[in-house]
Amino acid sequence: MVTADAKVSKEVRRDLLKIAHDLWWSWNEVAQRPFAALDPNLWEASNHDPLAVLRGVDEPIFAARCADADFRDLVKTARDALRSYHNTVPWFERQDLPGAKGLHIAYFCSEFAIHESLQQYSGGLGVLAGDHLKSASDLGLPFTAVGLLYQQGYYLQQLRADGSTRVIEPRWDPRNMAIEDTGIDIKVPIGARKVVARLWTMKVGRIRAVLLDTDRKANRSKDRRLTEGLYKGESELRMRQQVLLGVGGVLALKAMGIKATVFHLNEGHAAFASVARLAALRRKGSSLEDALQVIRRSTVFTTHTPVPAGHDRYDTAMVAEALEPCWREAGLGRSAFLEMGSERPTDPKAPFCMTVLALRTAEHVNGVAALHGRVSREMWQQVYGVSDPALVPIGHVTNGIHARTWLAPEAEAFWKRSIGLDLDHVERGVDPWATAEKADASEFWALRKALRARLVQFIRERLARQARRRGESPELVLRASEAFDPEALTIGFARRFATYKRAPLIFRDAERLHRILSAEGRPVQLVFAGKAHPRDRDGQAYAAEVHRWARENGFEGRVALIEEYDMHVGRMLVSGCDVWLNNPLRPHEASGTSGMKPPMHGGINLSILDGWWPESHDGTNGWAIGDGSEGSDREKQDAIDAESLYGLLEREVVPEFYERARDGLPAKWIHRALRSVATVPGRFNTHRMVAEYLEKSYLPANG
C-alpha cells in the first residue's frame, strides 16, 4: 500500500522529471529553482543539471523536501509555467505570412550550446545555434534541428602552474542526458561502408533536435569514433563526421517522418546534405537540372568566418571516395561532383572546400554581420565568376543573443520593475528595451554594484579552486580567495583564444597597463576566460601568457584567468563586468555575440570596430578602439590598436567610472551605460534574427 507521503513524493518526482526532460528549463529560472532548492550543493556540483540532481539526491532528503509545502509550491509553479508555455499560441501561429503554408525548417549544425550541463558545444558557433533554437521555440516556428551526439563533447580545460593547457576528455552517457532514445537506427553510406547511427531527440521547448550517434556495437571502432568528440584534428575523421552530419542528417529526417521544406546549413560542416538531397531527388526521377534547382531554391547557407583557415578543405580523392554512393546515385560523375566544391574547377590539384559546395547549392546565403557580408562577398567573388564583389549574392543577417538565456534573473526583475520589460511578449517592431534611459540612476547603480560583487565572489571561488587543484600552498589559496575588489572597475574578456582575437594585446605595454590598474583611488581589474582548440598551440600560448601576467607582481589580485570557459562562466562574466573588451584583428571577427550580452546588465562595450559593433556603436553607447583601419602589417596594427586602447582607458573609461557627483553616483558613466541598454539588446537578439531569417530566407525558400 502506498502511503500518502510516498504518493506525494511520486507525484513531485513525476513533475520534476517532466520539467527536466524539456530543455525549456535551461532558459527559465523559475524551472531551475526547485532543483536548486532540492539540493543546492548537488546543483552546483552537477553544473546545474536537473537530472543529475534527481539521480543523486538521497531519498530521505527528497522525501523531506516533498513534505514541505513551500517546496511543492516551487514545483507547481515551474510545472504550471511549462504548461502555460506550451498552451500559449506562439507568435508564428498568430501571423498571416504569405508563403508560410507547409513550411518546416531543418537546421543543420555541428554543435548546439543549450546549457553548460550538456557538453555538446565548443564555442561561438554552438552558442549562436543554441540561441537560434530557443528563439525558434519561443516564436513557434515549425523547426527541427539536426546534429551529432558527442560522447566526449569538446574538452574540459585545466591550466597547469605554468599556464599550459591540460586537455580533459570525459565521457558523457546519453542515458543521463535530457534526450530521448528513439530506438531508430539508420545506415549512412560513407565510402564503401554503411555506418549505423542511432537517432536521439532533444526537446527544446516547442521544437526538437535530432542527434546522430555512431557509438554502436555494430560499427567498427573507426566508425564509432565519428561521434567521439567535436572538431578532432584528423582531417579524414573530420571530413567523415561531416558526411555523417550532412548525409546522415537527411536520412535521419526521413526516418523520423519529418518533411522539411527548407534546409538551413549553419556553416559549411553540413554541406554534404545537398548532395544527399540531390541523390534522393534523382531516385524519384527528377532530372539533374531540375533537382539542382530545387535544392538551390530551398537551401539557406550561413557562413560564419572571414578567416580562410576556418573553411574546411579536404583532399579530393578522400572526399570522392567518401561521397561516392551519393554522387553516383545523383548521376554526377566524379569530376562533376568535385567541381561543385572546388574554388578553381580547372585546377585538378585544388582541394575540395565545404564552403564552396554550400555556396554552389544554396540560393539564400548570408554572413552574420554587415561587415562580414562585405568581406564574404570579396572572399568568394571568384566562385561566382563576377567582376565586382557587389554582384556576389551574399547578404547578411546580423547575429543576436537569446535574451533570457543570458540575462541574470536579478537584472530581469529590475528591468521589469523599472521599464515594464516583458520578454514573454513578442511582437515585431516593438523594442522592450527602448525606454531604459528612464530607469532610476540610483537603483540602476545599486544593481550594477550587486552584480559586480557577485562576480567578484565567483572569481575568488574559482581562483581558490584552481589553486587547490594545482596543489598550491595555503597562502596562495588564501590570496586567491581575496583577489579582486567588489568596488573596482572590472573589465572582462571572454571568448575563444584564437590568435586573431589577441587576448594578450592589453599587456603590450605592461608598465603603462600597471599604472592604469593601480592608480591611487581608481583601481581597475581584468578578468579573462577562454579556450583554444586542443591542437592550437599558439592559442594555448596566449592563454599561458595571460596566466603568467596574472601571477606577476603588480598584477596578481587584479588580473585573473578563469579556466573551463563554459556557458555558466560566460553568464557570470557578462552580467558582472562593467566593461566588455574585444580587440580582434579587423576584419577577422565575423560577428562576436559575447558583447551583446553585457548591455542587458548595464555593461559597456570597449571594442574594435569589427563584427557586429560597427552596426551598434554610435559614440554614446560604448567605445570604439581604433578607427576601423585594416592594416596588413600585424605588428604595426597591434601597436596602433594597443595605443588606442590605452588612451581610451586613461582619458575616458576610467575617469568616467570614478568621477562621482555629490550623491556618489558616476552620472556620465550611468548615462552611457543606460544608452547601452537602450540601444543594444532590442536589436541584437535572436528573436529579431530568427524573424529576419524567416522573412529574408525561410519563406522565400519554402517551395
Question: What is the C-alpha separation between 95 and 426, in angstroms, rounded?
Answer: 12
Cα three-residue angle 262-240-296, rounded to 5 degrees: 25
pLDDT band at 2 (very low <50, low <70, confident <90, very high): very low
Whether 480 is covered by a domain: the verdict is: yes
The closest of 429, 589, 534 to 155, measured between CA atoms, is: 534
**CATH code for the domain in which residue 352 is found:** 3.40.50.2000
What is the percent of the chain where pLDDT is above 90?
A: 94
Instruction: Map grid coordinates 596543489 to a residue.
Output: 471
Question: What is the C-alpha separation between 66 and 377, in angstroms, rounded?
Answer: 59
Same domain, residue pair 631 and 697: no
Instruction: Please give the pLDDT value at position 632.
Output: 85
DSSP state of 499: G
Name the E strands within 28-155.
105-108, 143-148
Same domain, residue pair 443 and 350: no
Same domain, residue pair 501 and 641: yes
Q: Is the pLDDT of residue 84 over 60?
A: yes
Query: What is the tens place of the pLDDT at every residue in 553-608?
Result: 889 999 999 999 999 999 999 999 999 999 999 999 999 999 999 999 999 999 99
Instruction: Please give the pLDDT value at position 496.
Output: 92
Question: What is the C-alpha separation between 365 and 331, in angstroms, rounded?
Answer: 26
Same domain, residue pair 658 and 694: no
Strands 352-353 and 165-168: unpaired
Same domain, residue pair 366 and 346: yes
What is the percent of the chain where pLDDT is above 70?
A: 99
Domain boundary among 87, 106, 131: 87
Instruction: Map grid coordinates 567582376 to a residue.
Output: 387
Average pLDDT, the chain: 96
- Distance from chain centroid for Cα 124: 4
Question: What is the C-alpha separation between 77 and 73, in angstroms, rounded?
Answer: 6
Whether 171 is covered by a domain: the verdict is: no
Same domain, residue pair 243 and 268: yes
Q: What is the mean pLDDT of residues 323-352?
A: 94
Whether 425 is covered by a domain: the verdict is: no
The closest of 488, 469, 491 to 480, measured between CA atoms, is: 469
Same domain, residue pair 103 and 56: no
Same domain, residue pair 606 and 622: yes
Query: What is the tens place of the pLDDT at every residue in 204-236?
Result: 999 999 999 999 999 999 999 999 999 987 899
Same domain, residue pair 146 and 217: yes
Same domain, residue pair 549 and 694: no
Whether 37 is covered by a domain: the verdict is: yes
Instruction: Please give the pLDDT value at position 599.
Output: 98
Same domain, residue pair 42 and 105: no
pLDDT band at 5 (very low <50, low <70, confident <90, very high): confident
| Cell numbers standing for residue 352 | 575540395
Whether 161 is covered by a domain: the verdict is: no
Q: What is the mean pLDDT of residues 138-146?
A: 98
Whether 570 is covered by a domain: the verdict is: yes
Question: What is the C-alpha separation between 39 and 520, in angstroms, rounded?
Answer: 44
Q: Is the pLDDT of residue 318 over 80?
A: yes
Instruction: Please give the pLDDT value at position 301.
Output: 98
pLDDT band at 310 (very low <50, low <70, confident <90, very high): confident
Same domain, residue pair 231 and 128: yes
Whether 416 is covered by a domain: the verdict is: no
Whether 426 is covered by a domain: the verdict is: no
Question: What is the C-alpha separation between 247 and 27, in angstroms, rounded?
Answer: 31
Q: Which domain holds residue 580?
A: 432-682
Domain boundary among 87, 112, 128: 87
| Cell numbers standing for residue 44 | 552546483
Q: How many structural domains does the chain have?
A: 3
Domain boundary among 55, 87, 119: 87
DSSP state of 685: B
Query: What is the tens place of the pLDDT at every residue in 500-534?
Result: 999 999 999 999 999 999 999 999 999 999 999 99
Tell me which amino acid residue 107 is: Y
**What is the phi/psi pair of residue 188, to 5°?**
-105, 120
